[in-house]
Structures are given as C-alpha cells and as structure tokens.
Amino acid sequence: MARLSTHLLDTARGVPARGVVIKLYAVISDSRIEPLSPVTSVVTNVDGRTDEPLLSGDRIEPGVYQLHFHAGDYFHAAGVALPDPAFLDIVVIQFGIADPAANYHVPLLISPYGYSTYRGS
C-alpha cells in the first residue's frame, strides 16, 4: 500500500510539535505556485504525527504537492516569544511523488528561526 506521511519535531524545545495544522495541496499547474488544489487538512497529535497518513491506497497520484505547516500558530500557542511578524509563519515544502506505489515520508524539524526536511522512510 502506498502512503504519504509526515511528522514534526520542535528542535528548539526538544519535543514533538503537537497541535500543528498541516494542509496538503496538489500543484495542478506548471507555474509551481498557483493554482493549488486542496487535498486534506490535519492536526498533529501528541507525538507530532498525524493519526492517519495524508494519502494512502493502492497508489498515490504522481505529481507535485505542497505541505503547508502552520508553525507560527504552533509557536504562539506554545508561548514562545516571537517577533511581529514572526520570522517563520507557514512553512511550505514542495515535493514530487514519482512512484505511485511507494511510501513517502516528509518530516519537518522546526524552530522559530529555521527548519529542515528530508525524505524519510
């Protein structure tokens, strides 16, 4: 079964990022910016993960996708002092799915002033 999953770790505080809104979009234009087609919206659990994969099934539609992580709201809710406007608010990761039968895991390591990602397993 193919799937797309994610998780978030708050590297500034050393904890899973709980309660982060994540929105998944399919990029349906060659512009790589617009238009975006909403696919799903989820919130991370106490482990910084989603309760279900973002996509799953016998196959995932190949194409370009974007994950929008609402990090600014998370840090505000956690009581982290941020400048106004916050340096990082919504972190957008654009990635491609080439193999419709594969598992794709896109984790995010986040702090108020930086982030990193990679293709996980």
Q: What is the dihedral angle through the alpha carbons of 70, 4, 13, 88, rounded to the nearest 10 degrees?
A: -30
Q: Residue 32: its pLDDT value, please?
A: 60
Per-residue pLDDT of 35-76, as tens digits, reads 899 999 999 999 999 999 999 999 999 999 999 999 999 999
**Domains in the chain, number:** 1
Which CATH number does the domain housing residue 88 bear? 2.60.40.180
Q: Residue 91: its pLDDT value, please?
A: 98
Q: Residue 29: its pLDDT value, please?
A: 74
Range of the domain at 96: 2-117
Per-residue pLDDT of 80-110, as tens digits, reads 999 999 999 999 999 999 999 999 999 999 9
Closest CA to 36 of 47, 25, 44: 25
* pTM metric for this prediction: 0.93
